[in-house]
A and B are shown apart, each in its own frame.
Chain A
Amino acid sequence: MNKTILEKNVSTFKEDPRYKQCNKEALYGVILGIANMIWWYVLGYGLGSKPVEEYTYILGFPSWFFYSCILGAVVFIALTFIIVDKGFKNMPLDRMTEEEAEVYERQHNKEGA
């Protein structure tokens, strides 16, 4: 409801076409961060909460630490590389003129289709 009012108020307003992609990338960052925290939490506390006598070890580390921090680090470094390569796009960063914005939008829509 609020959104429709805002859109009506600024009916002549045209949003910078690059922002759609920017917002998507920001969202990837947030999702990656939350996934990272869940991984760390579930494996760290999941395996680390039992008594020390029952711990198993991987490469010398207690398994909770290995999975949560070491494997977690490797996995999330890899995921960062993959997401940046696949999901992040190059774009000009300087102020655009109307024409440049239209060209950008057309190219972008073509890619999307």
Chain B
Amino acid sequence: MSNVDFKVLIPIVLYFIFMYFIGIYAAKLLNKVKHKAQGDGSAYMDEYMTGGRDTGGFVLAMTLVATYLSAGSFIGGPGSAYTHGLAWVFLAMAQMPTGYYTLAVLGKKFAIVSRKINANSVTDFLRARYQSKAVVIIASVSIVFFLIAAMSAQWIGAARLLQGSTGLDYTVALAFFGITVVVHTAIGGYRGVVLNDTMQGIVMTISTFALFIAVVVKGGGIANLVQTMRAINPGMITPFGIKEGFMTTPWVTSFWILVGFATIGLPSIAQRAMSYKDSQSLNSGIKVGTLVSIVLLLGMHLVGAFGSTIISVESGDLVVPTLAVTLFSPVIAGIILSGPLASVMSTVDSQLLVVVGAIVNDLYVNYINPEFGKNPSKVQKLTIGAAVLIGVITFIAAYNPPELMVWLNLFATAGQLSTFLWPTMLGLYWKKANKEGAIASMLVGIGSYVIFNYFLPRPLLMHPIVSSLLLSLVVFVIVSKMTKEPSKEIIQTFWGI
């Protein structure tokens, strides 16, 4: 602890304090709803989980981008680009559709349906669509399990970053970060989270531009940087990377599924597609979201790739913090590092909210104690309690960190995709999708992914997510066709007027 760099730490601490204020502001809005609602916990839950469906276009874009871009995009991704060169930037660009794809495909239909059935979360949607306890329980358990894994990977990234740049002890850094996230999410709910996300999105943008410009200037221009990379290893400037047989064409291309098209299946992302105010917000959200996400992804990954010519670090995860500290004076470095920290925080706060929703809204209020949902004060206490509890569990999971967090993160992502992608998509667009199909598809999706991951790392030469999503789609369709169609009431609710 003796070599803590306060000049870097202070701007970060100030930034974190600001987060608390946003949380408190959002909590005030929540309390208004609580008092207005008078004895109805569902209005509170509505406000807590979707901010009263009041998100405008710019905020929608920023919260989507900030939620989607995580430690993977700001720490792990640039770290891999540092190691593998432009090939990894190329791979990362499989995320180009992030901004438009989810919002366009779930689209206004998802927003209309979720208003019809008053859904606050993807699980609410699945419950109404399939009317099956098993579907809801598999969905909720999957959320709790995979999102805690995802969050702990993110927390590790943030703590590493704080540790690497400020000299704080890992445990202190982890606690400092974790408490900030838990507090602002627990008290502020969805509105607190989106407000924070918006600010974090702005900080991430500034930070990306600053780092990119500094790296290019320091490296003597792009042409010079690219030629230096080529001199280090010609593989650094090809789409195949430096290691023979690692970044193969089918494997890299399959990332279009994993981090591109299938991201519709991430509950924290899909939740954003049910919270916006009106169709104008969606339309401008798509535009702004696409612009910001592409610029940030391209910028940060290029920073990592170019960084290979400027600094030398032992682990890829340290590229971004090391560059910031090397290229900028300490105080500025602290401000710039708030960017990646913001990217992590804006992801985990949304995930934490989804997990809290799964426990309180999807499991407890629906199945264990329905009477409970009528009292807003009790619901509030339970949501805050759940947030704190999950925070503690995540802290413990993150305490003993594995080497490269990018993989842990991808495992957790794939687990969520296997559970949610088809039940959400087919539930929305295919009238015959039924509960038997959904259950079979979820089980086959998760099961096959885990099996592939251990025994067949690259089925069909691709990332295992492709095969497990294909399998679970086929199973969904076959089982749905073989079993009874959904009831007329469900069809009427979802497709009728």
Q: Hey, which bits of chain A sit against chain B, CB under 8 A?
A: 6, 10, 13-19, 21-23, 25-26, 28-30, 32-33, 36-37, 40-41, 44-45, 48-49, 52, 55, 57, 59-62, 64-65, 68-70, 72-73, 76-77, 80-81, 84, 88-98, 101
Contact = CB atoms under 8 A, between A and B. Distances in A.
Given A45-B239, A84-B286, A70 B298 contact: yes
5 contacts: A17-B497, A33-B97, A44-B90, A60-B224, A72-B93
A29 B104 contact: yes
Interface string B226-243: 100010001001111000
Given A15-B495, A36-B97, A80-B99, A64 B104 contact: no
A19 B495 contact: yes
B311 interface: no
Given A48-B238, A52-B234, A57-B226, A84 B283 contact: yes
Contacts of A49: 239
Contacts of A94: 112, 115
A22 B112 contact: yes
Contact of B495 (A16, A29, A41, A60): A16
Contacts of B109: 18-19, 22-23, 26
Contacts of A17: 497
Contact of B111 (A36, A93, A96): A93
Given A33-B97, A69-B90, A98-B497, A55 B260 contact: no
Interface stretch (B63-71, B287-295, B354-362): B287-295
Contacts of B90: 40, 44, 48, 65, 68-69
Chain B contact patch, size range: 35 or more
A91 B108 CA distance: 9
B96 interface: yes
A14 B497 CA distance: 7
A40 B226 contact: no
B427 to A, nearest CB: 14
A26 B226 contact: no
Contacts of A14: 496-497
B237 A62 contact: yes
A13 B491 contact: yes
Contacts of B96: 36, 40, 72-73, 76
Given A30-B105, A52-B230, A16 B223 contact: no
Given A26-B429, A44-B239, A73-B298, 13 more contacts: A13-B496, A19-B112, A32-B104, A36-B96, A40-B93, A40-B94, A48-B238, A49-B239, A57-B226, A60-B221, A61-B226, A77-B290, A93-B279
B492 interface: yes
- Among the interface residues A6, A33, A41, A55, which one has the most CB atoms of the partner chain B within 10 A? A33
Given A52-B234, A57-B223, A93 B115 contact: yes
> What are the 5 tightest A-B residue pairs by CB atom distance, in nearest-first order?
A29-B104, A60-B223, A60-B222, A22-B109, A48-B239
Interface in B172-229: 221-226
Contacts of A62: 86, 226, 237-238
B497 A96 contact: yes
Nearest to B112: A93
Contact of A16 (B104, B234, B497): B497
A72 B488 CA distance: 45
Given A6-B431, A10-B491, A72-B93, A29 B101 contact: yes
Given A10-B491, A59-B222, A80 B260 contact: no
B93 A55 contact: no
A45 B249 contact: yes
A59 B324 CA distance: 25
Contacts of A70: 298
B467 interface: no
A96 B109 CA distance: 13
Nearest to B279: A90
B314 to A, nearest CB: 27
Contacts of B100: 29, 32-33, 80, 84
A29 B234 CA distance: 37
A41 B429 CA distance: 29
B326 interface: no
